[in-house]
Structures are given as C-alpha cells and as structure tokens.
Amino acid sequence: MSQGRVIVIGAGVIGLTSAVRLLEANYDVTIVARDLPGDLTIEYASPWAGAHFRPLPVTNAAEALEQNLIRETYAEFEKLASSDPSSSVRIVPGIEYFDSPSKSYTDLKEEAGFCTWPEFRVLAQDELPGKGAGPIKWGATYRSWVLNSPVYLSWLQRQVELRGGRVIRHTLSAIPEAVFIASEQLKESQLEFVAVVNASGIGFGDPASFPSRGQFLLISNPCDATVSYQTADGEAFVIIPRPLSGGTLIGGTKEVNSWNPTPSEESTAGILENVAKMYPKLLTAPSNDPNGEPALHLLYPTVGRRPMRKGGLRLEKEISSIVLPQSGGFKSKTKELKIVHCYGAGGSGYKLSWGAARRVVELVGEP
C-alpha cells in the first residue's frame, strides 16, 4: 500500500536517486524539474560531471558525515557495475599523484580515511611518472568506480519510470508551487501529500550557495584508469574515462564564484599539457591513422558549475505551512507539509548520491 505522495524537485543525480529509493519504499513519486536527463544547460550540474570516485582525507565532523554517505554509495556502485552494465558504472583502478602531498594524504592511519579504501597501496618510486626524478614525488592506487554521467542520468530516469514514478518539466518560482503542479497531473488521486524533497542543486535563494566553475575537455582517447594529480602550486588535474564509448574527460578547473560560461583557451592548453605529462599512456595514434603520432584528440571543451554550499550538503527536514491546491479564493486552507532539503552537494554529488537518498527516505518517513 502506498505511503502517500512525495514530490521531488529536481532531476539531477540527487533528485533521481532519491526518487528511486522513495519508490522502493512505496511512496507515490512525482518529479518536477526544469532540466531533465538529455539536457545540457549550464545550471544543470549533473551531466557535466566526470564522474568518478576519489577518496579524500577526513579532517572534520562534516567531512566524516559525508564520508559515511560516500561509503554507502561506493557499495551500491560496486553492485551496479556487476549487475547492470547498461547503467555505465565500471570498476577501474584509481591512481593519485602528488608533487608534495599534505600530511592528511600520507598519514596512513585508519581514522585519516584516505587509506581505508579497497586495494589501497602506496606506489613505489619507480611506478611514478619520471620514476620519482620528476616533480611527482608520491602516489597511491585504490579500487575506484567511474560512470558516463549523461548515460547514467537517463538510466536513473528509466529506473524511476519503471517503478511507476512520474516526471514533469516545469520551472518553479518557489518550493510550494510544486504541490500545485503535481496536483494538476493527478487531480483524482486520494493520496495525501506527505513531503516535498528539495533536490534543486543550489536551493531556492539560499545565500550559502555558490558555484565552482569546472572546465573539462572531452577527448576521444580511451583510458584504463581514473587518474588525479595535484601539483606543488595547488593545481589539480584529473582523467576520467566515460564507459560505453563516451571517450575520456580530462580537466579540470575549480573556480569558486566564477559565472563564466565560456571555455577559456588558456585552461584548455594547460589541461592538455599537464595531462599528457602525468599519464603518457593516454596518448594514442589518431583512429584513422594507426601509425600516426600519439596525441590527445580533443573533441570539445565543457563548462559546468558545481553546486557548492558553505557548510556542505544541506540534508535536513523542515515543516512549512502551504496553501492547499483546491482551496483558492478568500478563505484559503493551509496544511503543514514536510520539506526535505538535499542540495549543495558541491563536487561530490555522485559520490554521495545513494547514501543521501537513503537518508532522504528516512527523513520523509519521520514524524
């Protein structure tokens, strides 16, 4: 029996994953979103992501909390990689290179978090590019996952629809408007609205939200691993293969509060140069000339905005009073409605998606 109606605002990785788990928990789910899988607008973060798993050291309580969500998600992606190849999720080696890593990476104590992932191993000097004689002085490897984000988002939408969920395209002016839009579609439904999930990426006018611009390049070269490199002067480069013939994403910049939607030629040149040096195995001959010079083959640059938030992911519920859809006129009826917020995932939305979705279901079910 249905537990009642839930409206999910947003069809990014957070909204879609939450919708799947809510449907599995027997809620009737309607997604209302401005952007849907298949769209490529800059405000819609999810299709621009690599996306890959990369462990980060845990240095405070907020990071420890996110780490638990990331572990749950890791377990789910391991299952998906073997149970459903059409999801595009694949297990690949993860490799980290550093010119001069901070202690939080090289500290191999369990509680530091970084070294606790499956198949973690510090690389020997002769496994590093330049065999330790170049700028890269430290490295590690572990078991990672990658996915092809546009393909994975469509797969998630299919999972929602296969479980009976509905998807409506609409741009909302405010959270309560979602109840009116969803009611229009199912006028005859007797089910009660129990909650609205706000998975809108940056939230509705939250002053703590801000963007981090990420410029990446899609190249046609295939790659057998996901690789990250942090230089001594604080720059970071990554290589993320996109399974199911999606090429490889290389990048990428992290430009806090930059609203520039246009790719920068300087960033493109910097990414190509550094990535070629950090993982020469990626360079291959052109597909139409097997004897040609090995190189990186640029398809196009991409620009996305990570939905950052001071204080990290907002994952909590609040009770709000809303005007009921059928009550217009001078004597509007109001109702207390639960709003479950799940936005501000920053650069980790995929990494924590299944853990966050489990928590969303708990918050929806709480009194």
Contacting residues toward ligand FAD, per CB under 6 A: 9-15, 33-35, 44-46, 48-52, 171-172, 199-201, 214, 216, 252, 304-307, 343, 345-351
If we measure between CA atoms, which residue out of 69, 62, 341, 97 comes closest to residue 195? Answer: 341
Tokens representing 63? 């990071």
Nearer to ligand FAD, 59 or 171 (CB): 171
Residue 3: exposure state from Cβ atoms within 10 A (0-12, 13-18, ≥19):
middle
- Tally Cβ neighbours within 10 Å of residue 224: 10
Nearer to ligand FAD, 51 or 360 (CB): 51
Least spacing, CB of residue 348 vs ligand FAD, in Å: 5
Nearer to ligand FAD, 129 or 304 (CB): 304
Nearer to ligand FAD, 2 or 320 (CB): 320
Least spacing, CB of residue 198 vs ligand FAD, in Å: 9
Least spacing, CB of residue 152 vs ligand FAD, in Å: 11
Measured CA distances, 315 to 69, 96, 233, 326 (Å)? 11, 30, 34, 30
Least spacing, CB of residue 37 vs ligand FAD, in Å: 9
The single residue listed with the structure tokens 């899988």 is 37
Nearer to ligand FAD, 49 or 128 (CB): 49
Nearer to ligand FAD, 12 or 113 (CB): 12
Least spacing, CB of residue 130 vs ligand FAD, in Å: 26
Least spacing, CB of residue 200 vs ligand FAD, in Å: 4
**DSSP-derived 3-state class of residue 347:** helix
DSSP letter for each residue of 247-281: -EEEE---EET----SPPHHHHHHHHHHHHHH-GG
Q: Which of the 8 DSSP states describes residue 117?
A: S
DSSP letter for each residue of 78-103: HHHHHH-GGG--EEEEEEEEESS--H
Nearer to ligand FAD, 284 or 353 (CB): 353
Residues constituting the chain: 367
Nearer to ligand FAD, 2 or 141 (CB): 141
Q: In what order do the strands lie in the sheet with 314-323?
A: 166-169, 28-33, 5-9, 193-198, 334-343, 314-323
Least spacing, CB of residue 129 vs ligand FAD, in Å: 22
Report how far residue 189's alpha carbon sits from residue 40's, in angstroms, rounded to the nearest whole number: 34
Measured CA distances, 207 to 66, 210, 211, 258, 344 (Å)? 21, 8, 12, 16, 11
DSSP letter for each residue of 126-163: GGSGGGGSSS--EEEEEEEEE--HHHHHHHHHHHHHHT
Least spacing, CB of residue 212 vs ligand FAD, in Å: 8
